[in-house]
Amino acid sequence: MNAICCIARVPDTATRIKIGPNGKSIDPEGVQYVINPFDEFALEAAIQHKEAKGGELVVMYVGQDDFAKDLRQCLAKGADKAIHLKIDGPLGPQGISSLLAEKIRPLMPASVFCGKQAVDGDVGGMGVMLAGLLDVPAVSKVSSLELKDDTAVATREIEGGVETIDASLPCVFTFEKGANEPRRAGLKEIMAAKKKPLEVEEVSAPAPKLSVESLELPPPRPEGRIVGEGTEAVAELVLLLREESKVI
Ligand X SMILES: Nc1ncnc2c1ncn2[C@@H]1O[C@H](COP(=O)(O)O)[C@@H](O)[C@H]1O
Ligand Y SMILES: Cc1cc2nc3c(=O)[nH]c(=O)nc-3n(C[C@H](O)[C@H](O)[C@H](O)COP(=O)(O)OP(=O)(O)OC[C@H]3O[C@@H](n4cnc5c(N)ncnc54)[C@H](O)[C@@H]3O)c2cc1C
Measured N-to-C along each axis, helices 126-134 and 93-104 cross at an angle, to the nearest 10 degrees, of 40
Give the contact letters, 69-108, x = binds to other proteins (CB under 8 A), - = no. Answer: -----------------------xxx--xx--x-------
Q: Are 33 and 80 in contact, with CB atoms under 8 Å apart?
A: no
CA dihedral 43, 44, 45, 46 (to 10 degrees): 50
Give the contact letters, 204-223, x = binds to other proteins (CB under 8 A), - = no. Answer: ---xxxxxxxxxxxx--xx-
Of 31 and 227, the one with the shorter C-beta distance to ligand X is 31
Q: Are 71 and 40 in contact, with CB atoms under 8 Å apart?
A: no
37 binds ligand Y (CB under 6 A): yes
Give the contact letters, 2-41, x = binds to ligand X (CB under 6 A), - = no. Answer: ----xxx---------------------------x-xx--
Query: Measured from the CB of residue 125, what is the shortest distance to ligand X in angstroms?
Result: 4
Query: Measured from the CB of residue 116, what is the shortest distance to ligand X in angstroms?
Result: 6
192 binds, among ligand X, ligand Y, other proteins, none (CB under 5 to 8 A by kind): none
- What part of residues 1-30 is at the interface with ligand Y (CB under 6 A)? 13
62 binds, among ligand X, other proteins, ligand Y, none (CB under 5 to 8 A by kind): ligand X
Of 60 and 152, the one with the shorter C-beta distance to ligand X is 60
Query: Measured from the CB of residue 99, what is the shortest distance to ligand X in angstroms?
Result: 8
Q: How far apart are CA 36 and CA 40, in angstroms?
A: 7
206 binds ligand Y (CB under 6 A): no
Residues of 156-182 as b/e, b for ≥16 C-beta within 10 angstroms?
beeeeeeeebebebbbbbbbbeebbee
124 binds other proteins (CB under 8 A): yes
Of 166 and 201, the one with the shorter C-beta distance to other proteins is 166
Q: How far apart are CA 181 and CA 184, in angstroms?
A: 9
3-state secondary structure of 58: strand
Cα–Cα distance list, 147 to 142, 170, 171 (Å): 13, 11, 11
8 binds, among ligand Y, other proteins, ligand X, none (CB under 5 to 8 A by kind): ligand X
82 binds ligand X (CB under 6 A): no
Q: Are 115 and 38 in contact, with CB atoms under 8 Å apart?
A: yes
Nearest residue to 166 via CA among 190, 184, 149: 149
Q: How far apart are CA 233 and CA 9, in angstroms?
A: 46
Query: Measured from the CB of residue 73, what is the shortest distance to ligand Y in angstroms?
Result: 15
